[in-house]
Structure formats: C-alpha cells, structure tokens
Amino acid sequence: MSFWCVVQCESRVLAQQARDKESLAEHLLRGRGFECYLPRTRAAGSARILPLFPTYIFVRIIDRWYSARWSPGVVRVLMSGDAPARLPDHVVGELRRSEVHGLIRLPPPPGALTHGKRVRVKTGSSCGHIGLYEGQSSRQRERILLNLFGRMTLVELVPTDRIEAVNG
C-alpha cells in the first residue's frame, strides 16, 4: 500500500547548477525511484516561479521510506510517531487538479486590490482622487485610471504614494 508523505529539504542550495533546493532534492529522490510532487506558483507581480511550500516536497512511499530520509538534500521526513505522517491522497489530487499550465494559481488575499476595483489615492500629487485599479507596472508601481479633464488617464504612482480600496 502506498501513501504520500512530506519531506523537508535543506534550506541552502546543494549544487550550483540547481535552480532551487527543492528541484535538486526532487531530482535525487526521483533517481532513487520515488514519485515526487513539487507544486509551484508564480510569485505575485513577477515572472519568477516558486515552490508553493518552500523547502517541502510531497513524496509517494511504496514500501521503503528510509532511503527517502537519507537522500542528499533531505533534512527529514515529517513523522507521526515512528512512521512517516501520511498525507491523504486527495490533498495531492486537489493540488494537482488546481494547476493551470503546471502552476497553482493562488486567490488574492482578502481585501487585496484587483483589476477594476475602485481606489482612492491617499498620498502624493493625486491625493484624494478616486480611480480604477489597473495593477502594477513591471517596475512594481501601482497603476490606476483617473478621470482627468474629462477622460480616463492611466497614472503610474511613485513608490511612496499610497492607495486604498473604496467601497461601492
């Protein structure tokens, strides 16, 4: 009978050619015959792809878990008593089903600004104006649409400017 467990990887990169510590440990575990699952997500406002659970990998145990524990790059297997803690299959299944193009898309945090949401500029040269949130620029600056002189104008705020969501 097989089951999923959680393996914690070293927090430092073990080899210069490895993109990230989880990928190296995942590669070494696969080399030992283990099925691994490393859910990934895109960093907010960035093109970087990161592990959903940094330093952790899901590993399917079939008959032996000691070789997973002693694989290079592995710190420990999360345990329940003297055996690996069993992760229900449906947890890994739900994560895999939620992937889009190999990445898990996280919902915005409660109260997060989303495209088209009404916002008020709290500081800076546009202080007091109400507009529509357009997201962030590639330079990590907030962008909003403001009604200026009778037309909607895209404004990129400076990093010190602050905005807040407006209800209604």
- Domain holding 48: CATH number? 3.30.70.940
The type of residue at 69 is R
pLDDT of amino acid 89: 96
Question: Do residue 54 and residue 99 come from a single domain?
Answer: yes
pTM: 0.64
Residue span of the structural domain in which 124 resides: 118-165
Question: Do residue 100 and residue 123 come from a single domain?
Answer: no
Per mean pLDDT, which of 13-17, 47-51, 96-100, 135-139 is the most reliable? Answer: 96-100
113 inside domain: no
- Structural domains in the chain (count): 2
Q: Map the chain to HEC letters.
A: CCEEEEEEECCCCCCCCCCCHHHHHHHHHHHCCCEEECCEEECCCCCCEEECCCCEEEEEECCCCHHHHCCCCEEEECEECCEECCECHHHHHHHHHCEECCEECCCCCCCCCCCCCEEEECCCCCCCCEEEEEEECCCCCEEEEEEECCEEEEEECCCCCCEEECCC
Q: Which residues contact 108 (CB under 8 A, 6 or more apart)?
A: 114
Determine the Cα–Cα distance for residues 134 and 115; give it in Å rounded to an integer: 5
110 inside domain: no
The string of pLDDT tens digits covering residues 31-86 is 999 999 999 988 766 678 888 998 899 999 998 899 999 999 899 999 999 999 99
88 inside domain: yes
More confidently predicted of 168 and 26: 26
Two tokens, residue 101: 């193009």
Sign of torsion, CA 143 147 148 150?
positive
